[in-house]
């Protein structure tokens, strides 16, 4: 368990340096690679490639080779098959919107850094039982945003928890989240919107990425 914790901590430390983790749902592998290239070139060295599309595995596999500096994660991991495919493809971490004990159990046994989702104190405590201290607060804004997060942190901050809020985080409220000591990073769904990627709006996306880097650097 100590080795597993160290492995998870290494990922958390890397994500804490970038502060914004783009959450991406991309339909084509070539578009995913272009997006990762922009992230890499613009200095936002992380990405969560969600398994909401069939291209996710292929994107991770190729991006892991082409952009070794990127901290590549797999998102929306809902099955054991997706969990293993993600890490076999080269993912360095994986996250889920909720807490599935079967998947968490397998991730810990397989030594995969895995950050489950929670939105209740009971789920948070279940996650801690696995020795996991990094978790995803989802959907963050819909569940009360920073005010709700503060209520969660109060009883548990002495346990060393780290939280990545995702869902509704944007340029207007990013600073509010990152100002919380227990929040090393936040999921950024605004950084690479599916519509912009599908339309090939790469210059627009690059501008958004650069703005995200500048904004995150303030915290």
Going by C-alpha positions, the residue among 122, 161, 169 that lies closest to residue 143 is 169
The parent domain of residue 48 ranges over 2-214
Question: Residue 94 falls within a domain, yes or no?
Answer: yes
Residue 131 in domain: yes
Give the tens place of pLDDT for each residue, 133-178. Answer: 999 999 999 999 999 999 999 999 999 999 999 999 999 999 999 9
Residue 48 annotated to the active site: yes
Average pLDDT on 125-131 reads 97
Residue 99 belongs to domain with CATH number: 3.20.20.70
Residue 208 lies in a domain: yes
Q: To the nearest whole number, what is the mean pLDDT of the chain? A: 98
The pLDDT tens digits of the residues spanning 90-122 come to 999 999 999 999 999 999 999 999 999 999 999
Residue 1 — pLDDT band, cuts 50, 70, 90?
low
Q: Which of 45, 48, 61, 162 is catalytic?
A: 48
CA angle 93, 95, 100 (to 5 degrees): 125
**Could you tell me the pTM of the whole model?**
0.96
Per the structure, how many domains does the chain have? 1
219 assigned to some structural domain: no
Q: Is 136 a catalytic residue?
A: yes
What are the tens digits of pLDDT across the range 3-21?
A: 999 999 999 999 999 999 9
Three-state secondary structure readout of 111-151: CCCEECEECCHHHHHHHHCCCCCEEEECCCCCCCHHHHHHH
Catalytic residue among 19, 45, 61, 136: 136
């Amino acid at each position: 368990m100590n080795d597993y914790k160290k492995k998870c901590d290494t990922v958390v430390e890397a994500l804490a340096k970038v502060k914004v983790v783009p959450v991406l749902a991309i339909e084509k592998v070539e578009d995913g690679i272009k997006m990762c290239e922009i992230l890499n070139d613009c200095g936002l060295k992380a990405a969560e490639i969600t398994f909401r599309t069939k291209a996710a595995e292929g994107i991770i596999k190729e991006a892991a080779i082409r952009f070794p500096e990127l901290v590549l994660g797999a998102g929306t991991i809902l099955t054991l098959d997706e969990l293993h495919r993600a890490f076999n493809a080269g993912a360095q971490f994986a996250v889920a919107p909720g807490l599935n004990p079967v998947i968490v159990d397998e991730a810990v046994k397989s030594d995969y850094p895995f950050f489950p989702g929670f939105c209740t104190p009971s789920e948070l405590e279940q996650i801690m039982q696995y020795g996991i201290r990094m978790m995803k607060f989802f959907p963050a804004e819909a569940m009360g945003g920073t005010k709700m997060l503060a209520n969660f942190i109060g009883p548990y901050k002495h346990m060393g928890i780290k939280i990545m809020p995702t869902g509704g985080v944007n340029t207007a409220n990013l600073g509010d989240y990152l100002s919380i000591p227990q929040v090393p990073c936040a999921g950024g769904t605004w950084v690479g919107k599916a519509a912009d990627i599908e339309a090939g709006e790469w210059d627009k996306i690059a501008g958004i990425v650069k703005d995200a880097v500048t904004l995150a650097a303030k915290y």
